[in-house]
Amino acid sequence: MRTTSTASAADEAAPAARRRLAPEDREHQIVQKAIAFYASHGFEASTRDLAKELGITQPLLYRYFPTKDALVDRVYEEIFVRRWNPEWEEWLADRAVPLADRLKRYLQDYARFILRSEWVRIFMFAGLTRGGINQKYLSRLRERHFKVIAAEMRHSFGIPDPKTPQEEEDELELVWAMHSSVFYIGVRKWVYEQPVPKDLDRTIGFRVDAFLAGTPMVLKNARS
C-alpha cells in the first residue's frame, strides 16, 4: 500500500506532467479533444466543461485559443479543410476516364472522408448553432465539385448548357440530391442509429448508375 506522502507526490506529479507538454503537443491535444467533445455535446457546450474534460484550467485553454470562436474555427480547419483531398477535382475533370468511373472513384473516396461519427455529428450540430461552418463548407463543395460534375455530365451526355440561372440551379439540385445521399448514410448511422449498407462502395456504385441513368434524360427533356 502507498503511504500518504507517496500518493500525494504521485498526485502532484500528474498535473506537472501535463504541464510539461510542448506547446504544439498541448495545442494538438486540445484540438483533438475539442473535436470529440463537440461531436458528443454540440457547440453549445461551454469551454469550462471542455477544459474540465481535458484536465486543464480554463485560462490555460484560452492561452491557446483566446475565444471559443477561435477554437471552433480551428476545429473546422482540422475536420473540413485539412482532410480535404485536392485530387478530387482532378479525378472529376479527367475526361480520359468515363464519367461513371470518375464519379464512383470520387464518391467512394469522399465517403471515407465524411462517413465518420465526429464528421457527421459536428456537421449536424454546426447546422443548428454554427451555420457559418456549414455555409463555408457547402459553398466550397458547390463551387469545386457540384459545378464540375454538372459540366462533365453535360459534356458526356450532350446536354445543352443552361441558358438561365434557373436551369443552372435545376442541374445543381440534381447533383446535390445524389451527392447528399452519401452523407445521409452517415446521418442514418450516427444520428438515427439505424443500420446502413455494409458494402458502401457497392451502394455508391448503384447510386451513381441510377443518377446517370435518369438525370441526363431529365435535363435534356427540360431543355429541348
- Domain ranges within the chain, ordered by starting residue: 4-79, 84-223
Which of the residue ranges 34-38, 125-129, 202-206 would you say has the lowest mean pLDDT?
125-129
pTM: 0.84
In whole angstroms, what is the distance from residue 187 CA to residue 148 CA? 25
C-beta atoms surrounding 63 within 10 Å:
14
What was the pLDDT predicted at 58? 93
Using alpha carbons, select from 178, 185, 182, 163 the residue that is nearest to residue 216: 178
Query: What is the DSSP-derived secondary structure letter of residue 65?
Result: -
Reported as a single tens digit per residue, the pLDDT across 27-45 is 999 999 999 999 999 999 9
- 84-223 classified as CATH 1.10.10: no
Q: In the predicted model, is pLDDT for residue 56 greater than 50?
A: yes
pLDDT (average), residues 163-192? 97
Sign of the alpha-carbon torsion through 112, 117, 185, 78: negative
CATH domain 4-79 topology: Tetracycline Repressor; domain 2 (1.10.357)
Checking phi first, is residue 158 left (phi over 0); if not, alpha (psi -120 to 50) or beta?
left
Are 4-79 and 84-223 equal in CATH topology? Answer: yes
Looking from the CA of 5 toward its CB, the CA atoms found within 13 Å total 0
What was the pLDDT predicted at 8? 44
What was the pLDDT predicted at 21? 76
Cell numbers linked to 203: 451502394
Using alpha carbons, select from 49, 38, 199 the residue that is nearest to residue 120: 38
In whole angstroms, what is the distance from residue 174 CA to residue 23 CA? 47
